[in-house]
Amino acid sequence: MLRSVILAAARSSRVERLVETAPFTRDVVRRFVAGTATDDALRATRELVGDGLTVTLDYLGEDTVIAEQAATVRDAYLELLATLSAAGLTPAAEVSVKLSALGQKFDEQLGYDNARAICAAAAEAGTTVTLDMEDHTTTDSTLDILAKLRGDFPGTGAVLQAYLRRTESDCRELATTGSRVRLCKGAYKEPESVAYQSAVEVDKSYVRCMNILMSGDGYPMLATHDPRLIAIGQDRARWFDRDVNSFEFQMLYGIRPEEQARLAAQGHTVRVYVPYGDEWYGYLMRRLAERPANLAFFTRALVSR
């Protein structure tokens, strides 16, 4: 119920204006978002890499409706990749992109062209791109674009969401040599016809999908903060004889940093998803919808001012 209310607020421009102008907002945003500019992204990346972590950077933005806006997002990635490369932070840092921010929803070819330009810049910088997964209406289009991009840039990664009923089958398709697949639970509000609704069902699906990926030939990227799923991931690595370099854990910036450090100290690759940019509102609201404790953090920031 609370989750539905917050996810509805995520789509409301009135609530967005209220939150953006509230005096407490800056501190809350800072916990989950690295900042607004390329320099902020660079600083956060330097710190994380210095701490033995790896990074994937997300220039915030989604649901772009005009070509100029999509070009602005593309150019922000091109600038970011050149900056990371010049700073010697590739390949430790790669980028994550949302195709809807690149025009996918109103012109699929434009979304592909912009994503292709980013993949080419990433290859030039000696690193990779992962395509974020958005709501289920975009899954087929995103996987089609992934297949085309992988023709020229085989290291391009995909994201699969365990809450979708189709995902086990998608995992089977993508558990192949050279394929990088980030497995997450899924962050959007989806109808029962396409997605499991209860936490238990989603967790069980996550484990089934993880079994397919960890027993397959690709490079699984286990994106979760869930201690049980992390422990099962480590168990499956032993069971399927995977060494620590053949898969990785991923977590979001600002969430369970002590767990990120603990896994890295055990020799695991841990990649932190670092969002930055002005368009932080939708991202922040999805984080708040995920966990009541995050909402409590937000409220504490409100009352302490």
Q: Which residues form the interface with ligand FAD (CB under 6 A)?
A: 132-133, 159, 161, 182, 184-188, 223-227, 250-252, 255-256, 273, 290-291, 293-294
> Is 82 or 225 the residue whose CB approaches ligand FAD more closely?
225
The CB-of-205 to ligand FAD minimum distance in angstroms stands at 12
Separation CA 6–CA 33 (nearest Å)? 18
- Residue 132 is among the residues annotated as catalytic for this protein: yes
Residue of 58, 116, 132, 203 marked catalytic: 132
Pairing of strands 54-59, 93-97: parallel
Catalytic residue among 74, 116, 150, 182, which?
Answer: 182
For residues 133 and 175, which CB has a smaller minimum distance to ligand FAD in the complex?
133
The beta-strand segments (E) located in 61-139 are 93-97, 129-131
For residue 91, whether the previous peptide bond is cis, meaning omega lies within 30 degrees of 0, is yes
| Best CA proximity match to 249, nearest among 264, 235, 238, 265 | 264
CA–CA dist 7, 226 (Å, integer)? 21
Contact 77, 85 (CB under 8 A): no
- The least CB distance from residue 31 to ligand FAD, in Å, is 10
Comparison of 165 and 256: residue with beta carbon closer to ligand FAD: 256
Matching residue, tokens 């910036």: 253
Element spanning 252, H or E: strand 248-252
The HSE-up count of residue 108 (CA atoms within 13 Å, CB side) is: 11
Shortest Å, Cβ 225 to ligand FAD:
4
- Least distance (Å) between residue 186 CB and ligand FAD: 4
Whichever of 216 and 233 has its CB closer to ligand FAD, that residue is 233
Which is it for the CA torsion 246, 87, 51, 284, positive or negative? negative
Tell me how far, at minimum, the Cβ of 78 lies from ligand FAD, in Å: 21
Nearer to ligand FAD, 59 or 188 (CB): 188
CA distance 96 to 156: 10
Residue 274 is inside which H or E element, if any? strand 269-276
> Both tokens of residue 47?
């710190």
Query: Which run of H or E residues covers position 235?
Result: helix 227-239
Q: Yes or no: say if 132 and 98 are a contact pair by the CB < 8 Å rule.
A: yes
**Could you tell me the smallest distance in angstroms from the CB atom of residue 21 to ligand FAD?**
26
Q: Nearer to ligand FAD by C-beta: 11 or 17?
A: 11
Give the whole-angstrom CA distance, residue 20 versus residue 285: 12
Catalytically active residues, by annotation: 132, 182
